[in-house]
Amino acid sequence: MIISFTKMNGAGNDFVVLDNRDLAYNLSKEQIAFLCDRHRGIGADGLLAAEPTDGEADFRFRYYNADGGEAEMCGNGARCFGRFTASLLPEPADVVSFETIAGTLSAKLIGDDVEVAMSDPFDMQAELAIEVEGLSYPIHSVNTGVPHTVAFVPNLAELDVVKLGAAVRYHSHFAPAGTNANFAQVIETGHIAIRTYERGVEGETLACGTGMVACALYHHLLTEAPSPIKVDVAGGETLLIGFEKSGDDFVNVTLTGPAVVTFTGEIEI
């Protein structure tokens, strides 16, 4: 089977993107993992597929991690998906909506950037009563579409993100599904830097949109930094996380940053 694809990246978090509106592609977990393999396939942190929807949204958003497992959401993927699917609309538009497992989202094209309206975060738990060898700082958790932990550290550059991230990701507290693990450093109030170990990729990625949201929200809770919060990622870009507070809850959360087409092509599987 020949597959036509678009390779995209959002702040260095890269994806294979497929137009599957006709449902011609019914890929297995192994086939998706092959496409994401950086040595034998195209190479990506995950795969996005645009599918038809019976609801009011424009498209259905399907996201698969590099291991082939389907996940609820991906913030950087949602920005790439928004730019990709906007070109598929019957009439030109700068706003596109799509259904995800985490809820219906929308993306707005703003020049080279895309602003994604994220799902409302839930299940916030500060200072979890867990211990991770080598990490002596409080660990917080939240679901921003997918589960995340956040730990603020004094020096990101010295951190062994793969070792500590794997220890958090596979900690029994988060079994059986596991969690994504983020480590953040405060540059100044309202501006943080993060590094992320992603579940399903099983390693550090250059950026993670839902992880940025998790870190920004906890930065606000710990410092009262106002919206929007600037987040530097390992890929070199700075993105913006916007939000509003409604009592103890966060609402109207947005993620704004780049979404770039790298190349297009075909591959046989």
Catalytically active residues, by annotation: 74, 208
43 class by beta-carbon count within 10 Å (0-12 exposed, 13-18 middle, 19+ buried): middle
Q: Would you give the end-to-end CA distance of the chain in angstroms?
A: 6
Phi, psi of 243 (to 5 degrees): -165, 165
Give the span between the Cα atoms of 192 and 152, in whole angstroms. Answer: 10
Which of 38, 37, 16, 15 has its CA nearest to residue 25? 16
Displacement of CA 125 from its chain's centroid (Å): 20
Give the span between the Cα atoms of 246 and 115, in whole angstroms. Answer: 21
Give the span between the Cα atoms of 81 and 64, in whole angstroms. Answer: 13
Q: Sign (positive/negative) of CA torsion 59, 64, 163, 176?
A: positive
Give the span between the Cα atoms of 107 and 60, in whole angstroms. Answer: 13
